[in-house]
Structure 1
Amino acid sequence: MATTQNETQENGMNGNPLPASKLQQEPLKNSGSIDHLKYVDVTPIIGREYPTAKIKDILAAPNSDQQLRDLAITICERGVVFFRAPQDDLTVEEQKHVTYMLGKLTGRPEGHGLHVHPLDNDPNNLAMADGTRDPNIYVINSEAMKKLYKTAKRPPLDQPRDLSREWHSDSCYENCPSDFSFLRMQDTPPSGGDTLWCSGYELYDRMSPSFRGYLETLTATCSQYELYKSACEVGGYEVISPRGSPLNKDFEFSPSHPVVRTHPVTGWKSVFAGAGLHVTRINGVTSYEDTMIRDYVMRLITRNHDGVARMHWTRQSCAIWHNACTLHAATPDTHLVDDGLRVGVRATGIGEVPYLDPASKGRREALGLPLY
């Protein structure tokens, strides 16, 4: 059984009581091994782009593990990093290796690895470009996803679409959600199809101290039970189990996660289960309060676009992000252009049970930055 949030806070990561002033897990420090790579920060708050770096060179370096560890810490601090130069020399096995090692080198729990999509048995899942399939690679295809999620409820076609429903953190419907996600875009439309990431750190910091303190007392149910159950029943296949962790099994798709969580690598607080596609209910409040809280968090995303990084995809460019401190949203506008096919391959790791450490701080407070 997964450790509860309160048990983790009271007993610490190893079961021993912890003083409130000491972090359960000390933040990791960057050694500077990738400081030689040219980069530009997408915004002062979130995102970093490496315009010329090749991931293959990091893997070939004599200190490859050190560079991957520093890359992982950078991702955790910046939320998301982009590799703009075409990474067409990177194999799928290398993409999986990078995703696995980013988590392993930064404290991913033993026995946790790469996620397998719950509907991997669905015949509508596409093969990769070479015609093969891999359980740890999810092929994102704008047309195939319509078939894969054919049992999902869809908004009326005669109404403008509410694109706020696209925001989410990967697999937070699992008992142990995703840590690092690594997406490489193989085919891109002539325009559109951008992906946006927002900083969960900044969402936390944009709230008043009293309001964020209240949200720290809350958990939220994150569920995709009905979707995956109906898809398996209609398709006549079994759900994948386990999925990157022994705790992610069967149809356990309705966990409760903290609305505010502590990032295990940086030690910073981040809004996690406060809004988004997979968040179905703020627990312990009335229906009106549930709607009000989730609408407020979503308004923070749309109102503060300085906390958002946008990626306009080019062929074989890559994005790697950490799901504990970001939400992201794909822009579903490729149907408006000719030849609007958008295809990418994604590998995703599985991290720990989310927790809130009472000794952790917000990003701005930890870095000594202005409150607003």
Structure 2
Amino acid sequence: MIAPDPEVPKLIYSPMKYSGSLDHLSYIDVTPIIGREYTHAKISDILSASNSSTQLRDLAVIISERGVVFFREDQRDLSVEELKRFTDEVGRLSGRPSENGLHVHPLFRDPGNVRMGNGEVDENIYVINSEAAKKLYKTMPGRTTSQPKDLPREWHSDATFEECPSDFSCLLMEETPPAGGDTLWCSGYEIYDRISPPMREFLDGLTATCAQPVFKSAATAGNYEIMSPRGSPLNVGDKFAPSHPVVRTNRQTGWKSIFAGVGLHVTRINGLYDYEEKMIRDYIMRLITVNHDCIARMHWTKGAAAIWNNSCVWHAATPDTHLVPGAVRTGIRASSIGEKPYLDPASTSRREALGITN
């Protein structure tokens, strides 16, 4: 008697499939591993298309597979409401929890926040501005130091300090310096694939605490209340210390990615001795810095935009604009809030799923 084939475990979320609705747009893939740039596409055209929902859903597939998508054409015709709708719809149409929406920054009430270029404020928009950041995060340890810059600490994924972090973030750059200010994205999929199978199995069982006490200390120092809720009924209060899996499954692709292994908000890998957890975090950071083919770099131009999937990439801004006299780098970012991070036992690595062996 022939034994029946063992039942293949099913993923919690079925992987999304691309339907071809964006095939009319010209693009280049930034590297073989990560990033895609649409050189002439306008986000406003996607929003106004007769099949807008289909295009936005397909875009969610591409972002989730490529990690980050760049729109090089000037997007400054996009209104704030359209930027919000664009980001919100990409998250909604890719299957995030129905009760979730756009993130609200915890420190929205801080007087150190700067207004958008139109002079207005919006609780769902975070204004990217290095001078404003110095004021907002002045209570963060290590902000004032004479030591050389520790650039590895710049790597992060958005809102990891929340129970439900961001899935998609979209940044539209309004003003750029004549040099510098680039942003880098690194593929958590590929970093996972470059780890040996026994080590992957070990990392699969770990979680990390992602504490960010600066929000509470900033609100206390400024004598104002932290915003709550923040894009999800689970993102409430002022604790900001959730535990997330070190290895996470991307709900859109079903692929595994290193998630809470490194980053600005990751404070400790749980359950390990101090030396062990530092060794693992240093090892993952080494993989990021040594394997530069896992990185896509965006040199910003005025009006360019980028949208990325935080569950499978980290990003880092290059803090070098202070070297350019009079440099200004400002942008506006909206972030959708996804599900509580999870590791699906049925998920595989990207290379395993695609049959890549080289």
TM-score by length of 2: 0.97
Following TM superposition, where does structure 1 have runs of at least 4 consecutive aligned residues deviating by more than 4 angstroms? none
Distance 2:72 2:214 in 1: 35
Deviations 1:110-151 (A, max 9, x none): 110000000001011111111110000000111111111111
Corresponding residue for 2:133?
A: 145
1:126 partnered with 2:114 = yes
Matched to 1:163, the amino acid is L
Corresponding residue for 2:24?
A: 36
Distance 2:71 2:187 in 1: 19
Corresponding residue for 1:299?
A: 286
Corresponding residue for 1:313?
A: 300
Corresponding residue for 2:11?
A: 23
Q: Among residues 198, 208, 216, which one is paired with 2:204 in the alignment?
A: 216
Runs of at least 5 residues in structure 1 that lack an aligned partner in the other structure: 1-18
Deviation at 1:22, TM superposition (A): 1.2
Corresponding residue for 2:258?
A: 271
Deviation at 1:252, TM superposition (A): 2.9
Matched to 1:140, the amino acid is I
Deviations 1:194-214 (A, max 9, x none): 000000000100000010110
Distance 2:321 2:126 in 1: 20
Map of 1:185-196 to 2, 5 A cutoff?
185-196=173-184
The SS at the match of 1:143 is: helix
Q: Among residues 297, 306, 324, which one is paired with 1:337 in the alignment?
A: 324
1:232 partnered with 2:219 = yes
State the identity %.
65
Map of 1:126-205 to 2, 5 A cutoff?
126-154=114-142, 157-205=145-193
The SS at the match of 2:113 is: coil
Distance 1:47 1:210 in 2: 29
Deviations 1:66-87 (A, max 9, x none): 0000011100000000000100
Distance 1:272 1:157 in 2: 28
Distance 1:339 1:67 in 2: 40
Contact 1:258/1:272 (CA < 8 Å) preserved in 2?
yes
Distance 2:19 2:224 in 1: 47
Deviations 1:239-287 (A, max 9, x none): 0000000000011300000000100000000000001100000000000
Distance 1:35 1:206 in 2: 31
Distance 1:145 1:256 in 2: 25
Matched to 2:206, the amino acid is L
The CA RMSD measured in Å over matched residues stands at 1.0
Matched to 1:72, the amino acid is A
Distance 1:156 1:99 in 2: 34
Distance 2:167 2:270 in 1: 23
Corresponding residue for 1:288?
A: 275
Contact 1:143/1:341 (CA < 8 Å) preserved in 2?
no
Deviation at 1:156, TM superposition (A): 6.0
Distance 2:169 2:179 in 1: 24
Contact 1:174/1:252 (CA < 8 Å) preserved in 2?
no
Contact 1:20/1:358 (CA < 8 Å) preserved in 2?
no
Deviation at 1:154, TM superposition (A): 1.9
Corresponding residue for 1:11?
A: none
The total of aligned residue pairs comes to 352
Corresponding residue for 1:326?
A: 313
1:101 partnered with 2:89 = yes
TM-score by length of 1: 0.93
The SS at the match of 1:97 is: helix
Q: Among residues 341, 348, 353, which one is paired with 2:335 in the alignment?
A: 348
The SS at the match of 2:346 is: coil
Distance 1:257 1:233 in 2: 26
Matched to 1:247, the amino acid is L
Map of 1:45-56 to 2, 5 A cutoff?
45-56=33-44
Matched to 1:131, the amino acid is G
Contact 1:113/1:350 (CA < 8 Å) preserved in 2?
yes
Corresponding residue for 1:250?
A: 237
Corresponding residue for 2:352?
A: 365
The SS at the match of 2:333 is: strand
Contact 1:168/1:328 (CA < 8 Å) preserved in 2?
yes
